[in-house]
Structure 1
Amino acid sequence: MTPVSSHSPHGQSPLRTVQVLGGGSAGSSAHVRSLAAGLVARGVRVTVCAPTEADHTYDFTGAGADHVHVPRSSDPVSVAALRVACADADLVHAHGLHASFRAALALSGKPVPLVVTWHNRAYAEGARGHLLRVLERRVVKAATVVLGTSSDLVDRARRTGARDARLAAVSLPGPRTPAERGDPDRQCSKVRAELGAIARPLLLAVGSLERQRGYELLLDAARAWRTLDPGPVVVVAGEGPLRGELQGRIEDERLPVRLVGPRDDVAALLAAADLVLLPGCRESRSVLAQEALYARVPVVATAVGGIRELVGDAAELVPAGDADAFAAAVVRLLGDPQRRELLRERGVRQAATWPTEDETVAQVLSVYDELTRHRPLA
């Protein structure tokens, strides 16, 4: 006999929820894994609908959730698989624009609450940008509640027509313990040797090689770093459609930038880095910024989206699109060890203000309870 959930009203069976992921960014996938574990621990039944490779990476089943393979496409077969998975759900929670659109299609005509979390703003230009705006309107019209991970996303949901849009607590797992990290000095030396930064500053950027990430600005700024002594090594971890264009500029302009492709050791790269760079023109609740502050690595970022709200005074912020200001901020920090130490200390304090995993689960669960309080008795 299934035990009654500790938070469920007397006589009701455990709440049955479905979490829907698309391809799943690192931030949204880590959040769903953390959320699933916390909900299961509180007696909630959780099914995660996501591609099989996402379960292999994030181990939703290891968190106590059921996993159903649903491809990231919105074709009829994927939507039908999602509809079957949501058949007995009391509530469906979708993460990201495309997953939310699939969930809305799967729930069409069913009186099941749909919670949508926007972790970042989807961005594109031209015809694809128009399509994304159409999808946003469809999603907010279908959603019972839209949760935004930053104030700018909440404002955008409201402007797009959301009936109910709220700021969401979203946490990442905190820093690992020393025992989990192993020997950090040895790991740092190994990473720096691999990247050619033994006696040179190591600057790190992480993210897909797409227009909104601001890598063109990063390369513009890198021109100013060629004359520094010692000259920094700029490492960009990620893959995407701009690789050829960026690599061509790096070679033609002899820039101190290395494109190292996708990496599964970002934590080790962070531990070895002297500075983390966020040159993007579209950032909400940046996973990299959070990981950098946890790892006590100073950050230089453009003041866009939810960045200022996230990092407070614990990062060096410059105007969006200003490559000269970005380059100058990096040069100042590299030459000012006291400022770098101050930012590390501020980063620790700022990270302590972010919601914990328990607080995140509690807030989400309060939304679930609000939306399902009138569900029938078992």
Structure 2
Amino acid sequence: MSSSPVSTSAAAQPYGRPLRTVHVLGDGAGAGSCTHVRSLATGLAARGVRVTVCAPVHAEGEYDFTGAGAEFAPDAVSVLRAACAGADVVHAHGVKAGLRAALAIRGRRVPLVVTWHGDGPTVHGALGRLSRMLERRVARAAAVVLGASSDLVDLARQRGARDARLAPVAFPAAPEGMSDPGKVRAELGVVERPLLIAVGSLVAHRGYSVLLDAAREWRALEPAPLLVIAGEGPLRAELARRIEAEGLPVRLLGRRRDAAQLLAAADLAVLPSRWEAPALLAQEALRVGVPLVATAVGGVPELVGEGAVLVPPGEAGALASAVTGLLADPARRADLAAAGRVQAATWPSEDDTVAQVLSVYDELMERHR
């Protein structure tokens, strides 16, 4: 949601020797992995590490990796191979990017690090078998797999990773005082009614069909809360038809660059996913003290601890009940907001994340001397 620069601490020391790294993002990389790469690029470049980011051109336009101090290269196969040829370490983000990076460095003594952010929900049948095959290939090709949550570390080990470690992903905090929540709410027409927000691409695993089912249940409230969904994707037309046909108090906002401002103005944030890596929305909601209702899937429970209300995935009744219960209980919302801030204080900082990644690079450089 936010692509603001990482705040490198004054204590950050320059890296002690020349180091060239290439970070690889595949087509379809999500906001979480792109934001993480920008954060790493900023922190590494501030320490004197040479960083090249190979990613789709649209990702450079949205996340401005060059503005973070990195060199940018389009993710064409020939460009990726050329960039990796001069690297000391190649660091891919996601299984698909890991496969492309492994192919790019095949036959070269360049260590590969792969961060598993989680590429999607478990699938079955032929597609599931192909997905597991790709995971095994990438896990075995990587010198080190960094899992953004414990379940991803376990999965990498199951797929044959030689070295899999937990490496929580730190995202930059949205700047304080960046907007007037009252003005945001007025623009959305929710001055006298609750505002709920969900953020993420309009794809099946985000669980928006279940979220609309829940919205049908809470539309009878007085006043009825307005749910806004910031994101774009292939399910937009289908969701829009349902909203209109059923008269749901839901508004599709499309892709928004001010999602953090929208979140800060909301009464509740909702994360209804059927599957989720450590979610950017969850991190930002807890940091700014917006109560969160989320599904207990993937890395979410580990991330939020006691700082959110968790419900089973796919259960609209449980989701609707959690939302209506919080809307009716201001004291519970205040307690949850406070618990969220406490939980957020336990997360590693961006500097911590950069330091951990650099320590991995150090190990690999020593191995390959």
Residue 139 of structure 2 aligns to a residue whose secondary structure is helix
Displacement of 1:248 in angstroms is 2.1
**1:157 match:** 156
Task: Specify the alignment match of 2:25 in structure 1.
Answer: 21
Question: Aligned partners of 2:367, 2:139: CA distance in 1, in Å?
Answer: 23
In 1, distance between residues paired with 2:201 and 2:26? Answer: 16
Would you say 1:43 and 2:48 are equivalent positions?
Answer: yes
The correspondence of residues 351-366 of structure 1 with structure 2, limited to 5 A, is 351-366=344-359
Q: Tell me, in whole angstroms, the C-alpha distance in 2 between the residues paired with 1:196 and 1:176.
A: 24
Q: Distance in 1 between matches of 2:50 and 2:313?
A: 43
Is the 8 Å Cα contact of residues 6 and 42 (structure 1) preserved in structure 2? yes
Match of 1:370 in 2: 363
Q: Alignment partner of 2:345: what SS?
A: helix
Q: How does 1:1-378 map to 2 (within 5 A)?
A: 7-8=15-16, 13-23=17-27, 24-70=29-75, 78-123=76-121, 127-178=126-177, 181=178, 184-185=179-180, 188-376=181-369
CA offsets 1:315-334 (integer angstroms, 9 cap, x no match): 11112222111101100100
**Is the 1:143–1:162 contact (alpha carbons within 8 Å) kept by the matching residues of 2?**
yes
Mapped partners of 1:272, 1:240: distance in 2: 24
C-alpha deviations, 1:239-268, integer Å up to 9, x for none? 122222222222222211112211111011
Deviations 1:12-65 (A, max 9, x none): x50111111124321111111111121122222111111233223222222222
Distance in 2 between residues matched to 1:196 and 1:97, nearest whole Å: 42
Q: Tell me the SS of whatever aligns to 1:373.
A: helix
C-alpha separation in 2, matches of 1:309 and 1:169: 10
TM-score, length basis structure 2 = 0.92
Deviations 1:108-136 (A, max 9, x none): 11121100011123235655444333322
> Against the structure 1 CA distance between its residues 36 and 133, is the aligned structure 2 distance closer, same or farther, given a 3 Å change threshold?
same
One-letter identity of the residue aligned with 2:337 = R
Residues 169 and 360 of structure 1 are in contact (CA less than 8 Å); yes or no, is this contact kept in structure 2?
Answer: yes
Q: Could you say if the C-alpha distance between residues 195 and 128 of structure 1 is closer, same or farther in structure 2, counting changes exceeding 3 Å? A: farther
1:232, CA displacement in angstroms?
0.5
Q: Which residue pairs with 1:74 in the alignment? A: none
Unaligned runs of 5+ in 2: 1-12
TM-score, structure 1 as length reference: 0.89
Q: CA deviation at 1:238?
A: 1.1
Q: CA RMSD in A?
A: 1.7
CA contact (8 A) 2:200 2:230 kept: yes
Distance in 2, matches of 1:374 and 1:226, equals: 60
CA distance in 1, matches of 2:140, 2:350: 29
In the TM superposition, what is the alpha-carbon distance from 1:69 to its structure 2 partner? 1.7
Is contact 2:274-2:314 (8 Å) kept? yes
Q: CA deviation at 1:189?
A: 3.0
Residue pair 1:196, 1:233 contacting (<8 A) in 2 also? no
Q: Distance in 1 between matches of 2:186 and 2:166?
A: 42
Question: What is the one-letter code of the residue matched to 2:78?
Answer: A
**Equivalent residue pairs, number:** 355
User: 2:8 is matched with which residue?
Assistant: none
Q: Which moved more, 1:23-32 or 1:229-238?
A: 23-32
CA radius of gyration, larger in: 1
Letter in 2 for 1:131: L
CA deviations 1:51-109 (Å, max 9, x no partner) are 23322322222222211122xxxxxxx22211101111111000112211110110111
State the AA in 2 paired with 1:121. Answer: D
Tell me which moved more, 164-173 or 58-67.
58-67
Given that residues 120 and 276 in structure 2 are in contact (C-alpha distance below 8 angstroms), is that contact kept between their aligned partners in structure 1? no
The aligned amino acid for 1:313 is E
**Aligned position for 1:75:** none
Supply the distance in 1 between the matched residues of 2:237 and 2:227 (Cα, whole angstroms): 17
Q: CA–CA distance in 1 between the matches of 2:308 and 2:220?
A: 24
Give, in whole Å, the separation in 2 of the partners of 1:155 and 1:303: 17
Aligned sequence identity (%): 63
| Residue type at the aligned position of 2:84 | C
Bigger shift: 296-305 or 128-137? 128-137
